[in-house]
Structure 1
Amino acid sequence: MTTRRDFLKTSVLASSLLFVPKFLHALDQQGLQTLHNSNGRRLVVVQLGGGNDGLNTIIPYRNDIYYKSRPTLGIREQSGILTLGQDLGFNPTMTQLKGLYDQGQMGILNAVGYPNPDRSHFRSMDIWQSASDSDKYVGTGWLGRYLDSNCADCQLPYNGLEVDDTLSLAMKGGLRKGLSLKSPEKFHQLTQNRFIAQVSQQKSSNAAGSELDYLYKTLAETTSSADYLYHTSKVYKSGVAYPNTEFSKNLKTAAELINSGIESRVFYVSLTGFDTHVRQQEQQGKLLQDLSSGLGAFAEDLQKAGNFDDTLILVFSEFGRRVSQNASNGTDHGTANNVLLLGGGLKQKGILNAAPDLLNLDQGDLRYQLDFRSIYATVLRDWLGADDTAILGREFQRLSGLV
């Protein structure tokens, strides 16, 4: 007989493992197969937490206003800027991404943002993750709603995997949620806990729809999912040399899952530390090098396995920084920013729109040229084959011929 203490203990364990019901149902019986509405493509979202300084990432190195606004932070051409064309260049630390750019596997979108921008980290990140207006609060994420919309009648649903300890709002839908895990091995080990294993094998004698019935089903399905992910991920072990950083390790995990044939269509990875109010140059340089070298190894891994053409990588941050540097040799919270797109399936490549206009600022901040939800709409409809209007709540102009 299950006691209240047993139920509470199991609930805590379920919460800590981010169990979700109806997720990857009956995988061990059905194995890999083509999913409902699947076009074989996948999306990898890379979140740069803290507000990356876009002007020192994609540098307008021939713009005098840039250097007047940043007398010590402005990066000079002779410092090794990796020129791209249109008087723009990568930060000198971004050599691997420059290589992908030169191979025609990257698109750069400048001055991406939204109306009435919010300069709070938490609120602006919520806006980007939920795809809401700045004056509206939405409790689901754009990728979670993608999972909802494509899985309404799926026996084996699409799913999203976040390589992290916690699940982002972006991956939470109304009906389905993504799954958060650091590695298939660790996730599998957690589900092998003796108590969890015992409970997951039991059949609930409680009424259907009760809390205990829900918990029994959740535990059983999650244990099945963990077993599937663990055993399938053994198919491929990467031989590519990744940098020894947490971000790159997470990308390696994602690559091994993709190259093993896991049928997840959405992956989410984060790199934090971009809130550079003080002594920005060294801190951002290290982070951009981590971003560049990690994504360079990730792209090489997918290319070798033949999966890069079917993978689109989207890199964003919740906002950019102010145009002028502050008194601490850093930058404060700004608004519009650049978005990077990488993949072998891009139809349009290079610099895809005009550089930010430094003569036309909004109280010292960049004015946005492109609503980020237009990018989402394009990715959802043209890359993933989903109903972007239903997922985003209204129609946004898509970027024609991008993917």
Structure 2
Amino acid sequence: MNMSRREFIVKGTALFATLGLGGPFLFSKSGQPLYAESAGGQEAAPADPTVLVVIQLTGGNDGINTLIPYGLGGYFDARPTLAMREHEVLDVDGKVGLHPSLKGLYSMYEQGRLAIVQGVGYPNPDRSHFRSMDIWQTAEPDKLGRDGWLGRYVASSLSGVHNPLKALQIGNISNKAFDSDEVNVPVIQTLDTFRLVDPKTPSVEQNRIAQAFLDMYDPKRQGVQLQVACRRGVEAYESVAAIQSLGSSYRNKVVYPKTGIGKDLQLVSQILTGQSGTRVFYAQLGGFDDHAQEKQQHAKLLEDLDVAVTAFYADLEEQGLADRVVTLAFSEFGRRVKENGSGGTDHGTAAPVFVMGNKVKGGLYGVYPSLTNVDRNGDLKYEVDFRSVYHTLIDRWLQGDAKGTLAKTYENLGFV
């Protein structure tokens, strides 16, 4: 009996377990997996469930100059050179507005597809990039967490889903958000390079290498001490097999920017179009640590984000996927209220978080922190715990085990 693409992806883990790792990743003369070629012409897979795309804005995005409080006291006094003038701001409610580089996101806001959660942070904030990012990725501000919040979500909510692509990291960096002893989340840069063997290698040699790989990671051939390594090897093999068996129905009808985040989001759309069954994607946009000459650099980074996300949702519309995808954009912390002497800002605390998508209930959530009633370091006092954002996304959008993921219940914010 022929197995459809989706059946292979969903049942791949069980299949290899049944074969005792004796079923190699066989290749035809064309260099394609034999099961991938035999899967053509099968009935279309049913619609996939909801999807979360996380975009990490690495470096500490200046939230004050992203959601600009031009109508609140203290803004212009604190930022004599960095402040955006009222006529430049994309007005939201007469008091705050988006940076002029965010025209696409502003259009989504006007259409009710962008939720802006104001003043997001956590108690006793840490201004170290490494520690604060660790806190956001583990959702554990009070201790050094071992597992990532998305690793716990996958382990608790998707444990019965035997799909090696159920969560994916896009780009070239693995991050702690997916750390878990129970799950292995692949890191993918492109579909063409995510392979076990160079596709130019003759098929007979590819088969030999694939069989040798499986033999090497066969738990029956290794001692107890290597069982975890064997499991990781098999999972990596299955991920490659699943990626190479994806459908090829993606047709690019939208022009993406030639930036890293643009390429990464296009890859997300391509993978989803191939009926991967992926529930969570994670991508990154770096460079937000603006200690000097912030005005031009920050504007360019926000433009990169805006153009890429706008193209992404236009592409999802073309592919018929837009109603299934919600995107979260966050940074490990904001910046200090007052600008420094180098035309930049130093590490701060609370900042806005963006949640966007067709099914998002757009609008402002929470209260913008006071720019004058600040903490002893001159930083904003947070208004919304970031774990409430996570809880809402897991509980309401992914319909997963939010309490099991975050160890307790947090307020659902209502944006989905």
Q: Give the aligned residue type for 2:82.
A: L
Q: Give the aligned residue type for 1:371.
A: D
C-alpha separation in 1, matches of 2:317 and 2:117: 24
What is the DSSP-based 3-state SS (H/G/I as helix, E as strand, rest coil) of the residue aligned with 1:161? strand
Change (3 A) 1:198 1:68: same
- In structure 2, the partner of 1:176 is 183
Change (3 A) 1:253 1:334: same
C-alpha separation in 2, matches of 1:206 and 1:189: 22
Question: In the comparison of the two structures, how many residue pairs are matched?
Answer: 375
Q: CA deviation at 1:25?
A: 5.5
Contact 1:104 1:350 in 2 (8 A): yes
- In structure 2, the partner of 1:291 is 305
Change (3 A) 1:354 1:170: same
Contact 2:219 2:230 in 1 (8 A): no
Contact 2:120 2:350 in 1 (8 A): yes
**Structure 1 position 51 matched with structure 2 position 65:** no
C-alpha separation in 2, matches of 1:242 and 1:86: 32
Q: Give the aligned residue type for 2:75.
A: Y
Contact 1:184 1:233 in 2 (8 A): no
C-alpha separation in 1, matches of 2:354 and 2:319: 23
Q: CA deviation at 1:252?
A: 0.6
How does the TM-score come out when normalised to structure 1?
A: 0.86
Change (3 A) 1:320 1:23: farther
Contact 1:126 1:169 in 2 (8 A): yes
Q: Give the aligned residue type for 2:280.
A: V
Q: CA deviation at 1:213?
A: 6.1
- In structure 1, the partner of 2:363 is 350
How does the TM-score come out when normalised to structure 2?
A: 0.83
Change (3 A) 1:118 1:155: same
Moved over 6 A (4+): 27-34
C-alpha separation in 1, matches of 2:144 and 2:227: 32
- Of the three residues 294, 311, 329, the one matched with 2:325 is 311
Q: Give the aligned residue type for 2:92.
A: L
Matches within 5 A, 1:252-291: 252-291=266-305
Q: Give the aligned residue type for 1:367.
A: K
- In structure 1, the partner of 2:248 is 234
Gaps of 5+ in 1: 1-21
Q: Give the aligned residue type for 1:53.
A: D
Q: CA deviation at 1:218?
A: 4.3
- In structure 2, the partner of 1:67 is 76
Matches within 5 A, 1:1-400: 26=15, 40-78=49-87, 80-133=88-141, 135-156=142-163, 159-188=166-195, 190=197, 196-202=209-215, 204=218, 206-207=220-221, 210=224, 215=229, 218-346=232-360, 348-363=361-376, 364-399=378-413
Q: Give the aligned residue type for 2:72.
A: N
Contact 2:114 2:354 in 1 (8 A): yes
What is the DSSP-based 3-state SS (H/G/I as helix, E as strand, rest coil) of the residue aligned with 2:302? helix
What is the DSSP-based 3-state SS (H/G/I as helix, E as strand, rest coil) of the residue aligned with 1:312? strand
C-alpha separation in 2, matches of 1:89 and 1:243: 25
Q: Give CA-to-partner distance per residue, 1:139-198, whole Å, 9 cap, x none.
A: 111001111002334444672111122211001223003211101211126576858524
Q: CA deviation at 1:224?
A: 3.4
C-alpha separation in 2, matches of 1:39 and 1:50: 34
Bigger drift between 53-62 and 82-91 goes to: 82-91
C-alpha separation in 1, matches of 2:96 and 2:319: 33
C-alpha separation in 2, matches of 1:283 and 1:86: 26
Bigger drift between 188-197 and 117-126 goes to: 188-197
Q: CA deviation at 1:333?
A: 0.2
Gaps of 5+ in 2: 1-10, 17-34
- In structure 2, the partner of 1:12 is none
C-alpha separation in 1, matches of 2:344 and 2:12: 44
What is the DSSP-based 3-state SS (H/G/I as helix, E as strand, rest coil) of the residue aligned with 1:234? coil
